[in-house]
Amino acid sequence: MATDGIVRVATPRRAIPNEDPEVGRLSAMVMALLGELAITRERLDTVERLLEAANVLRQSDVEAYDPTGQASAEREQLRKRQIGKVLRPLQVDIEKTVANVQQKVANADAVLEEEVKK
């Protein structure tokens, strides 16, 4: 793995005409996640092959493993945390939109009350 200290950002190879910038940003996020997943899978494959070559663990043991109890609960927590991290930018946008709509409703209510008082 290269450790040159350069942070690489996924970007589209060419612009798509009339594309919403948010779609482009989301596409870059998905491509970055895909790259990370590919690297993780490659490294996991390496570990499994090394363990099998050293007669420590067979790949079939990994496939047959059925997490129960605490292991299952910990995996579920980790999965939820990861999903939350990935979707956080969308959640922030939703929260901003909701706050904006609520402010507009409050402003409209204030205007309506003023009109009713007249």
What is the 3-state secondary structure of the chain? CCCCCCCCCCCCCCCCCCCCHHHHHHHHHHHHHHHHHHHHHHHHHHHHHHHHHCCCCCHHHHHHCCCCHHHHHHHHHHHHHHHHHHHHHHHHHHHHHHHHHHHHHHHHHHHHHHHHHC
Q: CA–CA separation, 55 vs 49, rounded Å?
A: 10
- Predicted structure pTM score: 0.53
Whether the CB-CB separation of 59 and 52 falls below 8 Å is answered with yes
- Model confidence at 117, pLDDT cuts 50, 70, 90, reads confident
Give the model confidence (pLDDT) of 60-104 as tens digits.
Answer: 998 999 998 999 999 999 999 988 888 888 888 899 999 999 999
Contact criterion met (CB below 8 Å) for 12 and 27: yes
Per-residue pLDDT reduced to its tens digit, 24-63: 778 878 888 899 899 999 999 999 999 999 999 998 998 9
User: Can you tell me the distance from the alpha carbon of 24 to that of 83, in angstroms, rounded to the nearest whole number?
Assistant: 20
